[in-house]
């Protein structure tokens, strides 16, 4: 005789489903901390925004439900480098844990004359429909190789071999990788990263290079050496700090400094021929025998904007073009300095031949007698006051 057991239908577990209006069901957050403690700790952290204090109280959690790993921070005593692409690029980890890629590439063979040319890349030379055919789908390896080495005080030294006037050297930050399982864990290790590489040396052994760019990503605190007399299109850094120097025998089209130039160790920025455009976002401070030397002219050839830097036409960018009858024409500039120029005793700012396009200085000029411009130029110094400088706050000899 067989007995059939009645099947009991179990209620399925309650699923977590959003409502019709898109709202989620209410949940009660369970915590070992009382409401008073939670609010009090939050207020204290807002008043003391140090990441160290937040790490000590673990709010937000340092490693919440994360896979097992070594949770102690590792001290980096010197920069670490890794060669990529057979020497065409280098990955660098600095002492604060910030990651960068130093790599070589190609600059444009011609100046872009339209938005279509600029958007087409470095190989486009036409705006016709043929541009889509001649534009290569893969880019050849750039000419030259780059090496990077650790230096004292957390600095990084860079050596470029085999480069040409069509080679560019760029320094770009790399993002931190987001690993699976760590989405809800706060990355305290990134709280004190400066995101600025301290470049202690750049040596171009071939004597030729097109651009050196670290406008938002690198500070220069050591020498840049470019032998020969070939033209360099652009050198760009976040700031130029004490101990830095630039020594090159040719023309530099654009020198972009996002913050300021501060030299106080007797070093010099020496351009062998012309400096066509100088952009400085802060002050130029020269002291203790430091010098800024331009072999020939300042502003001989007008320059277009490059990257996020401004061009020789920077004064005309804010001029109204619609709804005005003004006929004022803003001049082009050979230098656009948003701070002041301070030249201490024993230091000098020397232009070898003449100023072809005026310098525009928003701040004050201190030590104007040490700003040397020969009287033979069209924008020379008259009665110890440089007429080559416009819109200055005040002049102190």
Provide the pLDDT for residue 132.
Answer: 52
DSSP 96: T
pLDDT of residue 18: 56
Distance CA(94)–CA(346), nearest Å, equals 36
Half-sphere exposure of 199 (CA within 13 A, CB side): 34
Reading the block at residue 26, the tokens are 């209410």
Instruction: Please tell me the distance from the alpha carbon of residue 297 to that of residue 351, in angstroms, as a whole number.
Output: 7
Q: What residues contact 266, with CB distance under 8 A and at least 6 apart?
A: 288, 289, 290
Check: CB of residue 111 under 8 Å from CB of residue 304: yes
pLDDT of res. 7: 59
Give the C-alpha separation, 394 to 382, whole Å: 16
Which residues, 6+ apart, have CB-to-CB distance to 50 below 8 Å? Answer: none
- How many angstroms separate the CA atoms of 163 and 161, rounded? 6
Query: What is the pTM (predicted TM-score) of this model?
Result: 0.79
Token reading at 150: 């650790």
> What b/e sequence results for 20-58 when a residue is b if at least 16 CB atoms lie within 10 Å of its CB, and e otherwise?
eeeeeeeeeeeeeeeeeeeeeeeeebeeeeeeeebbeee
- What is the mean pLDDT of each successive set of 10 residues along the chain, which is 397 residues long? 58 58 49 77 84 81 74 77 91 90 81 45 46 54 89 94 92 84 78 87 94 94 92 95 94 95 91 95 94 93 89 79 62 91 93 89 88 64 54 74
pLDDT at 138: 55
Cα–Cα distance between 123 and 112 in angstroms, integer?
11
């Amino acid at each position: 005789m067989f007995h059939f057991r009645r099947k009991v239908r179990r209620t399925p577990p309650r699923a977590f489903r959003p409502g019709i209006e898109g709202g989620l069901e209410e949940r009660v957050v369970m915590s070992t901390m009382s409401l008073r403690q939670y609010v009090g700790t939050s207020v204290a952290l807002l008043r003391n925004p140090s990441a160290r204090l937040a790490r000590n109280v673990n709010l937000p959690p340092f490693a919440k439900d994360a896979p097992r790993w070594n949770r102690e921070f590792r001290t980096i005593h010197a920069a670490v480098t890794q060669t990529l692409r057979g020497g065409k690029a280098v990955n660098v980890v600095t002492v604060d844990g910030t990651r960068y890629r130093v790599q070589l590439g190609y600059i444009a063979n011609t100046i872009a004359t339209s938005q279509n040319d600029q958007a087409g890349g470095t190989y486009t030379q036409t705006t016709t429909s043929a541009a889509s055919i001649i534009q290569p789908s893969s880019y050849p390896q750039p000419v030259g190789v780059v090496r990077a080495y650790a230096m004292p005080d957390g600095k990084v030294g860079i050596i470029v071999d085999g480069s040409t006037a069509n080679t560019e050297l760029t320094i770009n930050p790399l993002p931190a990788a987001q690993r699976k399982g760590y989405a809800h864990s706060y990355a305290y290790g990134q709280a004190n990263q400066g995101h600025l590489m301290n470049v202690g040396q750049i040596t171009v052994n071939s004597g030729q290079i097109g651009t050196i760019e670290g406008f938002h990503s690198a500070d220069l605190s050591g020498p840049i050496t470019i032998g020969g007399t070939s033209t360099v299109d652009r050198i760009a850094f976040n700031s130029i700090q004490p101990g830095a120097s630039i020594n090159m025998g040719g023309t530099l089209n654009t020198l972009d400094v996002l913050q300021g130039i501060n030299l106080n160790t007797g070093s010099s920025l020496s351009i062998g021929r012309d400096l066509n455009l100088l952009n400085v976002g802060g002050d130029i401070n020269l002291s203790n025998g430091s010098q800024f030397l331009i072999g020939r002219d300042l502003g001989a050839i007008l320059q277009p904007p490059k990257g996020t830097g401004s061009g020789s036409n920077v004064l005309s960018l804010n001029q109204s073009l619609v709804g005005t009858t003004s006929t004022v024409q803003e001049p082009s500039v050979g230098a656009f300095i948003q701070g002041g120029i301070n030249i201490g005793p024993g230091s000098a700012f020397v232009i070898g031949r003449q100023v072809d396009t005026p310098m525009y200085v928003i701040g004050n000029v201190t030590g104007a007698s040490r700003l040397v411009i020969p009287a033979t130029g069209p924008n020379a110094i008259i009665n110890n006051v440089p007429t080559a400088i416009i819109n200055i706050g005040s002049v102190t000899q």
